[in-house]
A and B are shown apart, each in its own frame.
Chain A
Amino acid sequence: MAGKRRVVVTGLGVSTPIGIGIEPFWDALIRKECGIKRAELFDPSGLPSQVAGELPAFSLGDHIPKSYRKSAKVMARDIKIAVVAAYHAVTDAGLDTKCIIDRGEASGPPNVISTRFGANIGAGLICPDLTELGGALATSADADGNFSLALWGAGGVNKGISALTPLWLLKFLPNMLACHLTIVHDAQAPSNTITCGEASSHLAIGEAARTIARGDADVCVCGGAESKVNPMAMARPTLCDRLNTDSNADPEHACRPFHASMAGTVASEGGGLVILESLDHARDRGARIYAELAGFGASSNVHAWDGPDPDGNGIALALQKAIADAGSGVDRIGLAAPLGMGIERYDRSEAAGWNQVFGDGLPDIPAMTTRGALGNNGAGTGAIDFAAMVMAMHRNTVPPSLNTDKADPSSRFRFVQDDPIDAHITEAITTGYALAGGQCAALLVRRFEE
């Protein structure tokens, strides 16, 4: 719309089970690497689903200033994953933030003004560390061995509530992803935390784009991160019949998006953070421009708050809104990037939504989903998908999508099976939705032209 500033993508940072940093991640996608294996962060033997996507070992200290290392003890794993991805995003964008300067990797001054630097971060419901909290709760058993709230509240030396550290609550507040990374990079402009399940980072990126478009910030770090690889976060979706249980012996084939034999998703972890920037700001500092963020659409499934809409109406509306927002049309879209959770009722709903909008044209365009390689990255999902989609456009290459070799009858997506294919894409669109809560969103990127 006239008078609204153009927004471009200038940096991509991811922390995923198949790679940390956009280049290693992209290479792994092209090489068809799968990040799903038997869970190792804890012993999953007691759970029906025992496979997971886990990040390779990483050192938080390599991604923050030395002076900030002591803060690691108040960071849940979700927060660390976000902080790592944020470092890669600002580095990729060539932003000399406080973190980069404090680490001695740039001489300064910062090339982004803190009060014009915002953050929109998607976060999940962060599970308290079960070992820590469980151990503390166990100090409050009564004579019969049952938990006693009275003993818990009364505390004592290393007993009851006093068995937890004073800052315990701060480890698990969802807004702490944003708080830590805005401190590390000194981002003081509008800061928001979107907690909408798997739709979180689509919505966070969309809102960041709006913040820049209306002039309230020049640069935003946006996206999301979550770790679902812990006992509580795996028990919950198991109870809700969402996790795969037929592939404990064959983890790499557990998550099968839109597949004829799809049977549940896989708990995973990961983060994606993206640098969005006003076009003028990016030009002024000579930034590399990956793409323009041209369209954003958000909607709600009003069929149910605890499950999908079989007709995919929320997905369809989000797609339509994003396409209209970009002033584009269905026939101009050259790449489809659906979420593809690998859960039958959800994937059928998502496919129905895309079919509503693209109709017979859907098989004509290539499609990609990273779920087969990554599983469910929670609030990080959308930003990882967004980064992968932008890279596909940037590299003129559509990567293969794992475990999509035999399509469910509901799906008309044309996923790439073996070798990546060359494709000159001018517009690409991705969808995300919350497994519960009904939130849907779509983001459309366009090859940058002056």
Chain B
Amino acid sequence: MERRVVISGMGWVTPLGNTIEDVWQRILRGESGVAATTLFDASTFPSTFSAQVKPFSLEDFLGADAAAHEGASRNSRFALAAGMMAWRSAVLDGYTLLDRTRVGVYLGGGEGPLDFGSFAAAALAGCRNAEGEVERLDTVRWAETGMRVLDPTKELEQDPNLAAGHLAVQFKAQGPSLNTLTACAASTQAIGEAAAVIRYGDADVMVSGGTHSMIHPLGVTGFNLLTALSTRNDSCLTASRPFDRTRDGFVLGEGCGVLILEELEHARRRGAPILAELVGFGSTADAFRITDIHEDGRGPVASMRAALDSAGLGPEHIDYVSAHGTSTKENDKIETLAVRQVFGDLAKKVAISSIKSMVGHLIAAAGAVELITCVLAIRDGIVPPTINYKEPDPNCDLDYVPNEPRKLGVQAALSNSFGFGGQNNTLIIRKFSD
């Protein structure tokens, strides 16, 4: 018999706060988490703002266990906080009958922030000759400084799989442990693959989601060079405006979303909360170009269709689409085109929104946080708005739930994530019923 996968717990760390209910209410009020960047001095960069997570204490989430994770990177700290939140909400804390060899972790965790100060110091030392003149980097001179200033823990914590390692140790989860990094699609892919792990029978419970911060000098450098970020430095609160005609790029965010995925019978046996059922997953590659999305949106179309097929649902069953909706010119146009192809005449009727208008783009963590909002939309019968939507774009002519949330009975929701290089992933969740 087919093993069904349900969501039994959720936690997140976001630019709008760190509790499920509070952040959800802020999202429904259309609040923005965007402000001037303070994690480093970005004042001279082309983009001076971002959506940052506010400082928090890991002890508030882990108690005495926090000490063991000293030195954890920003990504790992986010994951531990959101992971514990999810674990508790699934009532796994204190559940003594859990077979830990059947509990796994599957994250879309980003690279940990580079220790930029030390890196730059070593780079400059490597480029300066004995006379103090700047020349091509000499690896011997670089190593002299590098080996002195680089810190082992900070280097180790940059490995993208470290957050998953922290979670596995924290929860004594001995089952499959994986980390995917398919750019902006990573956590959607992680959740889809984690569900597949359960469905196949390789685990009963998977701690899944994504965690990422690229709000550091090289992250902003990379995205600014790609001209992917909004540069509305004088009006950052309204800079993220998915599907609006005047959109000029995404706003970099950071954070983490973790969901507890569980095999239905396992959840039932222990009387776990069942928040929704994960019914569909699609993953495709554009296989087109590194720099551009395929102009017909063939990858996103195939991804959404694969997710619908695996769910055994048609477009008519989908009440809400949580868009990738980055607020870049290309993405929002192609995603609209793709939704139109998949939904046909229904495209104009389905509610579509992008919470990136409020929390920015959490990169590898984006999909997990967005999927949590889909669960909440199903639970509460209300869908979040796309804020900062003022001027319609002829290329984006669908219903983006502009500026105000909407009461809407949601039976099934579809969540898209698309990554640089043409990585497309789609998840479908449904209100749980026997």
Mask, A393-426, CB within 8 Å of B = 1, is 0000000000000000000000000000000000
Q: Which of B162, B288, B306 contacts A437 (CB 8 A)?
A: B162
Is residue A101 within 8 Å, beta carbon to beta carbon, of the partner chain? Answer: no
Is residue A299 within 8 Å, beta carbon to beta carbon, of the partner chain? Answer: yes
Is residue B177 within 8 Å, beta carbon to beta carbon, of the partner chain? Answer: yes
Is residue A249 within 8 Å, beta carbon to beta carbon, of the partner chain? Answer: no
Contact yes or no, A174 B181, CB < 8 A:
yes
Interface residues in B152-190 (C-beta closer than 8 Å to A): 152-153, 155-156, 158-162, 164-166, 168-169, 172-183, 189
Residue ID in chain B nearest A152 by CB atoms: B217
Contacts of A135 in B (CB 8 A): 127, 136-137
Is residue B121 within 8 Å, beta carbon to beta carbon, of the partner chain? Answer: yes
Q: Which of B132, B183, B421, B422 contacts A145 (CB 8 A)?
A: B132
Contacts of A165 in B (CB 8 A): 225
How many Å lie between the Cα of A270 and that of B319 in the bound state? 47
Interface residues in A290-343 (C-beta closer than 8 Å to B): 298-306, 313-314, 317, 321
Q: Which of A149, A213, A302, A303 contacts B173 (CB 8 A)?
A: A302
Contact yes or no, B159 A437, CB < 8 A:
yes
In the assembled complex, the CB of A222 is this many whole angstroms from the nearest CB of chain B, namely: 13
Contact yes or no, B137 A173, CB < 8 A:
no
Contact yes or no, A207 B193, CB < 8 A:
yes
Contact yes or no, A46 B193, CB < 8 A:
no
Q: Which of B104, B120, B144, B226 contacts A298 (CB 8 A)?
A: B104
How many Å lie between the Cα of A440 and that of B225 in the bound state? 37
Q: Which of A175, A195, A197 contacts B420 (CB 8 A)?
A: A175
The answer to whether residues A138 and B180 also contact, given A305-B169, A317-B101 and a CB cut-off of 8 A, is no
Contacts of A193 in B (CB 8 A): 180-182, 423
Query: In the complex, how many residue pairs between chain A and chain B have their CB atoms under 8 Å apart?
Result: 311
Interface stretch, picked from A88-96, A181-189, A355-363, is A181-189
Interface residues in B192-225 (C-beta closer than 8 Å to A): 193, 196-197, 199-202, 217-218, 220-225
Residue ID in chain B nearest A240 by CB atoms: B152
Contact yes or no, A153 B160, CB < 8 A:
no
Contact yes or no, B174 A314, CB < 8 A:
yes
Interface residues in B116-170 (C-beta closer than 8 Å to A): 120-121, 123-124, 126-128, 132, 134, 136-144, 146-147, 150-153, 155-156, 158-162, 164-166, 168-169
Residue ID in chain B nearest A189 by CB atoms: B284
Is residue B41 within 8 Å, beta carbon to beta carbon, of the partner chain? Answer: yes
In the assembled complex, the CB of A59 is this many whole angstroms from the nearest CB of chain B, namely: 21
Q: Taking each of A47, A166, A175, A436, which has the highest tally of chain B beta carbons within 10 Å of its own beta carbon? A: A175
Is residue B433 within 8 Å, beta carbon to beta carbon, of the partner chain? Answer: no
In the assembled complex, the CB of B157 is this many whole angstroms from the nearest CB of chain A, namely: 9
Is residue A60 within 8 Å, beta carbon to beta carbon, of the partner chain? Answer: no
Is residue A6 within 8 Å, beta carbon to beta carbon, of the partner chain? Answer: no
The answer to whether residues A169 and B225 also contact, given A71-B290, A195-B180, A300-B168 and a CB cut-off of 8 A, is yes
In the assembled complex, the CB of A212 is this many whole angstroms from the nearest CB of chain B, namely: 12
Q: Which of A47, A190, A300 contacts B104 (CB 8 A)?
A: A300
Contact yes or no, A138 B134, CB < 8 A:
yes
Contact yes or no, A436 B162, CB < 8 A:
yes
Contact yes or no, B196 A123, CB < 8 A:
no
How many Å lie between the Cα of A336 and that of B13 in the bound state? 44
Is residue A134 within 8 Å, beta carbon to beta carbon, of the partner chain? Answer: yes
How many Å lie between the Cα of A231 and that of B155 in the bound state? 13
Contacts of A302 in B (CB 8 A): 100, 168-169, 172-174
Contact yes or no, A437 B152, CB < 8 A:
no
In the assembled complex, the CB of B134 is this many whole angstroms from the nearest CB of chain A, namely: 5
Is residue A384 within 8 Å, beta carbon to beta carbon, of the partner chain? Answer: no
Q: Which of A114, A134, A152, A313 contacts B174 (CB 8 A)?
A: A313
Contact yes or no, A439 B177, CB < 8 A:
yes
Is residue A113 within 8 Å, beta carbon to beta carbon, of the partner chain? Answer: no
How many Å lie between the Cα of A152 and that of B42 in the bound state? 10
Mask, A117-154, CB within 8 Å of B = 1, is 01100010100101101110110010001110111111
Q: Which of B42, B140, B182 contacts A45 (CB 8 A)?
A: B140
How many Å lie between the Cα of A419 and that of B180 in the bound state? 40
Interface residues in B279-312 (C-beta closer than 8 Å to A): 283-291, 298-299, 302, 306
Contacts of B177 in A (CB 8 A): 196, 298-300, 437-440
Q: Which of B169, B199, B285 contacts A303 (CB 8 A)?
A: B169
Is residue A214 within 8 Å, beta carbon to beta carbon, of the partner chain? Answer: yes
Contact yes or no, B421 A179, CB < 8 A:
yes
How many Å lie between the Cα of A1 and that of B200 in the bound state? 9
Residue ID in chain B nearest A200 by CB atoms: B161
Contact yes or no, B174 A437, CB < 8 A:
no
The answer to whether residues A175 and B165 also contact, given A195-B181, A298-B178 and a CB cut-off of 8 A, is no
How many Å lie between the Cα of A238 and that of B196 in the bound state? 38
Beyond A239-B151, A298-B178, list 14 extra A-B contacts (CB 8 Å).
A147-B120, A147-B123, A149-B44, A153-B46, A164-B221, A169-B222, A190-B285, A194-B178, A195-B161, A195-B181, A207-B178, A236-B150, A300-B177, A439-B164
- What are 8 contact pairs spanning A and B, CB under 8 A? A123-B181, A164-B225, A168-B225, A175-B423, A239-B151, A300-B165, A300-B173, A300-B175
